[in-house]
Amino acid sequence: MLLEGLKRLEYRGYDSAGLAVIQDGAIQSEKVVGRVSQLDELVDDRFTGVLGIAHTRWATHGGVTVPNAHPHFDEKHRIALVHNGIIENYHALRELLLKKGHKIVSETDSELIAHLIAEYMDGNVVAAIQRALTHLEGTFGLLILTLEDPNRLIAVRQGSPLVLGIGDNEYFAASDVSAFAQHTRQVVYLRDGEMAELTPTGYRTMTFADRTVVRRPDEITWEIDAIEKGGYDHFMLKEIFEQPSALRNTLAARVRADQGLARLGGITAYSDDQLRSLERVIISACGTAWHAALVGEYMLEELARVPTEVEYASEFRYRNPIVGEETLAIFISQSGETADTLAALREAKAKGAHVMGICNVVGSTIATEAGTGSYTHAGPEIGVASTKAFTTQMAVMTILALQLGHLRNLSLETYSTILNDLVKIPDLIERVLETDPQVREIVPIFEHTTNCLYLGRGINFPIALEGALKMKEISYVHAEGYPAAEMKHGPIALIDENMPVVVIAIQDPVYDKVISNIEEIRARKGRIIAIATEGDDRIASKVEKAIYVPRVAPLLTPFLTVVPLQLLAYHVAAAKGCDIDKPRNLAKSVTVE
């Protein structure tokens, strides 16, 4: 069960792996540098028992070595724990423990927690852990077992996700429900400042101060095959092809074209008058979600005519942002656990802004703390490089822009056009996915390059950024996204006969401007790949390769133009033999600062 759970969680970190179980009055453990499959080869009939913990590491403190791998132990090997997060007062704690005579064998911050618990151990395991927690500054999701109480597993949450699984005479704790979803559909999400004790007869949730907290189980609604590859070579490819169905789930019950209605039920906490009176919108996110936010900026300003700014969450939290009661602050995160985005949300709430979360994971911290917002309903996303989460985030932003625009004098003609086209997007993406064979033909242009450019204008500039990010993430090709007109202000110096340049050149109001940019690249012999509009008989003569997407309202073109770029990154990475679902140095959910 531990190995099975680790394999489902390996997308969260995969530098090293390890497990520990209690059996025959001792803690039996094994750790390896590398993947869970390597750990699997070492685990044999020595491992029995009914209580255990396991972990896949994404290195923060200390290099990738066996001593730094989890689980970690106290000196007497009577306490074992695994840890997600970062202990910020690591250096002070290490010095304190060394002065007390503790022998610390790893470079990690995690091992220190086991030694701290040992300092307070007097037979009451829960009390010892609670006393140790008072010394910790930072983020931590902990699973702890001890020989002092060999039938009790302790789970602790502060800033790192933890969820319990309530089975039939069996209990689970993990950072993601996918680890145990094949065993139970009943889950309990712990909140920050809470811990749980699991025993053979039940579980109890409590605060760090030992006050019992009643948490009613939620039920997982998605099917287990949602976290299987389903015949695809990689989760990323599966999730690219799942985008039509994911978008249908996002739009369901929120968009009624036959009734001329687009509405997010999750923001009913704010009255129509409050939404009309908004003076400013701030959207904060990280990575791919930040690109979805940029698309949302174009939509909100165009349809709702409300000034909108997009902020990196990691910068927002440290720059004393100007927000107030007339500001709507939106926070986007696939996992709902992104550390910087969560901190930015708390900053905005403290300053009195209206807040809204856009997340995919039900019960996640951002969803809980925002209180108001919308789930994307994309289903589990396992591939580290986000795809269907991105398009569903854009869909929620589109509905929000239409809803605010309807309240703020958006013309009925524009509203109806966008609404009618929005419901067609899933079908149109299915048509774009049919271009997969043509995208594969482009791969040789990229196989031996180390640099490339992605260019877009208007609402497709964020798609250029997203396409470049996908290429960097999984193929390790250096790629930069630029507004097409900015090419002349620096990047044009890089263009020669070996430089691939991907240009989003759809027939929209700036089409002629983009054609001019293409001519400038041609003059310098760049290798041009265009994402163009079906029926465009002009562009083929100007580029080396063109992939065509259906015609749609210009504001909705990002849903279509991003798909060939996702496929291109995937096929280039596959041709280079890269580990697509687990790209080096990356983790799916960044729960540390």
Q: Report DSSP letters for 253-273, one per residue.
A: TTEEGGGTEE--GGGTTS-HH
Contacts of 444 (CB under 8 A, 6+ apart): none
Rounded distance, CA 325 to CA 320, Å? Answer: 16
Residue 312 lies in a domain: yes
The answer to whether residue 593 sits within a structural domain is no
pLDDT band at 78 (very low <50, low <70, confident <90, very high): very high
Contact 173, 164 (CB under 8 A): yes
Name the one residue in this structure whose structure tokens are 């299987």.
Answer: 228
119: three-class secondary structure by DSSP: helix
**292 within 8 A of 393, measured Cβ to Cβ:** yes
* Strands of the sheet with 373-375, listed across from one edge: 308-312, 280-285, 327-333, 354-359, 373-375
Q: Mark whether 370 and 482 lie in a shared domain.
A: no
pLDDT at 128 over 90: yes
**pLDDT-above-70 percentage for the chain:** 98
Instruction: Assess whether 403 and 267 both reside in one domain.
Output: yes
Residue 198 structure tokens: 């699991």
Q: What is the mean pLDDT of residues 483-487?
A: 87
Pair 401, 518 in one domain: no
Whether the per-residue pLDDT at 589 is higher than 70: the answer is no
Coil vs helix vs strand at 423: coil
Residue 530 in domain: yes
Asked if residue 410 belongs to a domain, the reply is: yes
Residue 469 and residue 390 in one domain: no
pLDDT value at position 563?
A: 98
Decide if 592 is inside a domain: no
> Are residues 290 and 394 located together in one domain of the fold?
yes
Given a contact cutoff of 8 angstroms between Cβ atoms, the answer to whether 532 and 520 are in contact is no
User: Number of structural domains, the chain?
Assistant: 3
* Residue 14: pLDDT over 80: no
Q: Is the pLDDT of residue 590 over 90?
A: no
Alpha helices in 168-312 (DSSP H): 235-241, 243-251, 272-276, 287-299
Burial (Cβ within 10 Å: 0-12, 13-18, ≥19) of residue 490: exposed
The verdict on residue 590 lying in a domain is no
Q: Which of 220, 244, 275 is the last residue of a domain?
A: 220
User: 447 lies in which domain range?
Assistant: 431-585
Same domain, 278 and 184: no
Same-domain pairing of 182 and 300:
no
503 φ/ψ angles, rounded to the nearest 5 degrees: -120, 125
Q: In CATH, what number is assigned to the domain containing residue 24?
A: 3.60.20.10
User: Which residue type does 86 have?
Assistant: I
| The length of the chain, given as a count of residues | 593
| Average pLDDT value for residue range 152-159 | 94
CATH at 492: 3.40.50.10490
Average pLDDT over residues 177-200: 92
Report, as an integer, the average pLDDT of 257-264: 86
* Whether 568 contacts 467, CB under 8 Å: yes
**Is 591 inside any structural domain?**
no
Q: pLDDT by residue (tens digit) across 448-470? A: 899 999 999 999 999 999 999 99
Say how far apart CA 564 and CA 548 lie, in whole Å. Answer: 9
The chain-wide mean pLDDT, for the chain, equals 91
| Cβ-based neighbour number of residue 73 at 10 Å | 20
Q: For residue range 326-350, list pLDDT tens digits in order.
A: 899 999 999 888 889 999 999 999 8
Q: Which of 461, 418, 483 is nearest to 293 (CA)?
A: 461
Asked, for residue 499, whether it belongs to a domain, the answer is yes
Predicted local confidence at residue 325, as pLDDT: 81
Per DSSP, 300 falls in state I
Same domain, 288 and 406: yes
- The whole-number pLDDT of residue 583 equals 87
Averaged pLDDT for residues 30-49: 88
Which of 241, 245, 240, 291 shows the shortest CA–CA distance to 467? 291
- Kindly tell me if the per-residue pLDDT of 13 is higher than 70: no
pLDDT at 142 over 70: yes
Determine the pLDDT at residue 591. 59
Question: 443 and 365 in one domain?
Answer: no
Distance of CA 90 to the CA centre of its chain: 27
Q: Are residues 395 and 492 in the same domain?
A: no
Mean pLDDT of 565-591: 87
> For 505-555, what is each residue's pLDDT tens digit?
999 999 999 999 999 999 898 899 999 999 999 999 999 999 999 999 999
DSSP helix/strand/coil, 313:
helix
The pLDDT score that the predictor gives to residue 593 is: 56
Residues 82 and 12 occupy one common structural domain: yes
In order of 299, 370, 526, 593, the CA distances from 558 in angstroms are 11, 27, 24, 30
435 shares its domain with 413: no
Q: Which of 397, 423, 449 is the last residue of a domain?
A: 423
> Which of 367, 395, 423 lies at the terminal end of a domain, its last residue?
423
Q: What is the mean pLDDT of residues 16-27?
A: 93
Q: Which residues of 258-281 are buried (b: 16+ CB within 10 A; e: fewer)?
A: eeeebbbebbeeeeeeebeebebb
Percent of the chain residues past pLDDT 90, beyond the cut = 68
What pLDDT is attached to residue 221? Answer: 79
pLDDT of residue 266: 83
> 94 near 54, Cβ under 8 Å?
no
